[in-house]
Amino acid sequence: MNILPTLAVFLLILGGTVALVLRLDARRARSLERLTPEPRLVPKDTFSTALIWRELVSRLGAALPASEKGLPLLKRRLVRAGIRNPNAPRYLQGARGVGTIALGGAALLIALRAHAGTSNLVLGVGAGAGLGYIAPMQYLLWRIRKRQHAIEVGLPNTLDLMVICVESGLGIDQTTLQVAKEMLTAHPEIADEFTTMNLELRAGKRRAEALHNLADRTGVDDLRKLVAVLVQTDRFGTSIAQSLRGHADYLRTMARQRAEERASKLAVKLVFPIFFCVLPSLFAVTVGPVLTHLIRDLFPYIENM
């Protein structure tokens, strides 16, 4: 009996297994190297576009400070957007200045290359400069709306977790701290706000004041109602778990009603897309072949009559 084919198959399988093991081991070693990178020294004279941009915006923002009357509103908006850098108002003003100059200059170059008239040139430069001035504030308002929506979505789950913590024997301060730790991945906005509230409590502020600051920082109506419930519960000594459970049910009911309201408005909002987009294509598909047959068969018949 010839054993050479069997030996060859065995050696081939053995070699493939060894190669696969070595490859997996090398991949594991590369993964460990990525997880524990060696510290790299960055030279001080490294060119960084981000640092240059930041310095330019900061200097321009310092040269164009915000008005004292609108500064409190601007700071409140920045906090509601999750930006707590004390130099954020200066950066925003700098971004406005840079946007105004950049977009105004771009509009000027485009108008000059297109050989536009004087009136079109002035209108184009003014529109570009206005867009550059408005865009940073609109971006800030968009971040505020996005953050508030994220807080509204995660608030019912947060209340359920608070109920579990309270029923397990934790106080309201320890409950908010634990919720901030647990919600760090699922709802980082709520975790950030609860962490800030705990820091205020550690700094010596009263609980009612810290709760009201929480509502003012976010600007979310549902969270403001939750603060009112917690303040009344703390003042009158009622059951915190029962109040939180009832408020969580109320928030879910309100979310369901808002979803039903949006669903009822959907039919009206779909009228215009259907009328202008769907019906023309449907008309072309259904009536188009009929018209083609009529033009091809009926018109020659009429001409021959």
Same domain for 123 and 192, yes or no, is no
Same domain for 139 and 180, yes or no, is no
Same domain for 132 and 153, yes or no, is no
Residue at 21 is within a domain: no
| Cα 112 from Cα 124, distance rounded (Å) | 10
| Cα 42 from Cα 243, distance rounded (Å) | 54
Domain limits for position 94: 53-145
Per the listing, tokens 């021959």 go with 304
User: Which tokens go with 294?
Assistant: 């009529």
Torsion of CA 253, 257, 259, 263, to 10 degrees: 150
In contact, 58 and 98? CB cutoff 8 Å: no
Residue at 122 is within a domain: yes
pLDDT value at residue 295: 75
pLDDT value at residue 237: 78
Cα separations in angstroms, 251 against 90, 179, 205, 283: 38, 18, 28, 45
pLDDT value at residue 50: 64
SS3 103: helix
Tens-digit pLDDT profile for the chain (305 aa)?
A: 455 566 566 667 767 776 777 777 777 776 666 665 555 544 444 455 666 666 777 776 777 766 777 888 889 999 999 998 888 888 888 888 888 888 888 988 988 888 888 888 889 889 989 998 999 999 999 999 999 999 998 998 898 899 899 888 888 888 888 999 988 888 899 999 999 999 999 898 898 899 999 999 999 998 898 899 888 888 887 788 888 888 888 888 888 888 899 888 888 888 888 888 888 888 888 887 877 777 777 767 666 66
Same domain for 252 and 159, yes or no, is yes
pLDDT value at residue 251: 85
pTM of whole model > 0.75?
no
SS3 166: helix
Angle at 221 between CA 220 and CA 222, to 5 degrees: 95
In contact, 58 and 87? CB cutoff 8 Å: yes
CATH of residue 160's domain is 1.20.81
